[in-house]
Chains A and B, each alone.
Chain A
């Protein structure tokens, strides 16, 4: 086993060499994960906000369900999506198995409960502060939800990042529904799993470092956007 500095050098070398295969894998990872997180936000933000802002029967049950689903094992999600998309499954005719779309579907299922559950908490807390004002101004339900989401946007950015972290790091779901096919569905995590199974531990770790750097860049970009937006808001 090489030393960690050798692994670090290998990782830097991999990035600097601009190997088209590595770039392709990184881009697919980003495409799959960002699309899945965007889709999960489109579903999870309104869902979490509605549950957070309103009282209705069985609400506690819904909250427990959302919180529980945050712990969905990726392998189980992968299997469920595989069974749905398999040629002998109900959605087999779509021919989506072993495509990036299948991976996006699996990760969306994985991330949506996280976004919804965390959004619910954020919105519920904020709603506690706003409730009286809303009532006195006679604000309608839709405007209520939109106002809460808008005012909580910076906290919700962190919610989206939590979802991104989960999706970009998971391997269990995408390897089942994507199949880890070279140049088609091979992403960072499945490549790391493959190289580990080939016994190329240094290369696997180097790829892991690159994945970490990508996560840092995505986080940094969002924080920069947040900082700029916040400054603009107070000018």
Chain B
């Protein structure tokens, strides 16, 4: 009797399991998709939500975006977990291609970095356009600065700028220099919470919903240029790469139509990304 009751119980459990649907859902049925390893700035700003439907309607290819920091995106792609890499750290991208993980790299678009700060402006940098001088001032006054600290494209650019400014942030880590080790949005949330200066790409800043009373303090330096590039993951090294569909996506992003779609994306009338494919 024990056994019969228990088997009934187990059968009911299995039925419930069956009702939850096939494990992979429709994924197996439609194989017409690519995985793009990309960064949080392109995702969080809403750019992908704007341009991907246009591409999908045209080609029927479903583009699945994994949005992580550039450092992690490159590592994932180097493991072969993705067909296309769409990030913003040119030196690291060129290394990715040189190591044979990527086929070739193309410029897609750019925007720029800005430093945002609290209205009290403890370092007195508001309105400056010389980023090296502004960062030196932040260091000198030991004003709180929240860094990504996550090896992302923004973090790498920030590191370069500190070096330019002649500041060694490693010694200040934990003091006025605070590394959150998280994405751009999380760092903005943390940074604004502790009245710190934060360097962010302009697209994420414009679309960020928790600005509080923060404003852009430093902008307009040519050194704060932020270039995005796109790379097909190399099928010779990673045979599972969907070359045809991946290349089709890259070609479209670089085409007149794709570039126009990028330029077309605006929030409150402000253009977030500026296409510059050659």
Spell out A's residues near B (CB within 8 Å). 30-31, 34-35, 38-39, 41-42, 86-89, 92-93, 95-101, 104, 142-143, 146-147, 149-150, 153, 179-182, 184, 194, 196-201
Contacts and interface: CB of A to CB of B under 8 A. Distances in A.
Nearest to A225: B12
Interface stretch (B155-163, B179-187, B258-266): B179-187
Nearest to B211: A199
18 contacts: A31-B20, A38-B20, A88-B79, A88-B80, A96-B24, A98-B35, A100-B24, A142-B3, A146-B6, A147-B2, A153-B9, A179-B35, A180-B66, A196-B186, A197-B186, A198-B207, A199-B188, A199-B208
Contacts of B210: 199-201
A224 B67 CA distance: 41
Contact of A201 (B3, B21, B27, B209): B209
Given A41-B13, A197-B189, 14 more contacts: A31-B20, A38-B13, A38-B16, A38-B20, A89-B79, A99-B27, A142-B3, A143-B3, A146-B6, A179-B35, A181-B65, A182-B65, A196-B189, A198-B44
A97 B81 contact: yes
Contact of A35 (B23, B35, B67): B23
Interface string B9-45: 1000100110011011101000000010000100110
Given A143-B3, A146-B2, A87 B189 contact: no
A197 B2 contact: no
Q: Which of B5, B6, B35, B240 has the most CB of A within 10 A?
A: B6
A101 B24 contact: yes
A179 B64 contact: yes
B2 A99 contact: no
A92 B82 CA distance: 12
A93 B240 CA distance: 8
B64 A199 contact: no
B223 interface: no
B6 A198 contact: no
Contacts of A100: 23-25, 27
Interface string B66-109: 11000000001001110000000000000000000000000000
A122 B40 CA distance: 45
Given A35-B23, A181-B66, A200 B209 contact: yes
A87 B240 contact: yes
Given A150-B9, A200-B209, A104 B17 contact: no
Nearest to A142: B3
B24 A197 contact: no
Given A38-B13, A100-B23, A199-B210, A150 B5 contact: yes
A98 B64 contact: yes
B238 interface: yes
Contacts of B79: 86-89
Contact of A199 (B23, B182, B189, B238): B189
Most-contacted residue by chain B among A97, A143, A147, A179 (CB, 10 A): A179
A144 to B, nearest CB: 9
Most A CB within 10 A of own CB, among B44, B66, B184: B66
Contacts of A88: 79-81, 238
Nearest to A39: B17
Q: Which 10 residue pairs across A and B have the least CB separation, nearest first? A: A197-B185, A199-B210, A87-B80, A199-B209, A179-B66, A147-B2, A199-B208, A146-B6, A38-B17, A181-B64
Residue of B43, B81, B240 with highest tally of chain A CB at under 10 A: B81
Nearest to B8: A150
A88 B184 CA distance: 28
Given A196-B189, A197-B40, A150 B2 contact: yes
Contacts of B27: 99-100, 184
Given A34-B16, A98-B35, A198-B44, A87 B188 contact: no
Contacts of B186: 196-197
A99 B24 contact: yes
A92 B6 contact: no
A98 B66 contact: yes
Nearest to A34: B20
B81 A98 contact: yes
B100 to A, nearest CB: 14
Interface in B48-77: 49, 64-67, 76
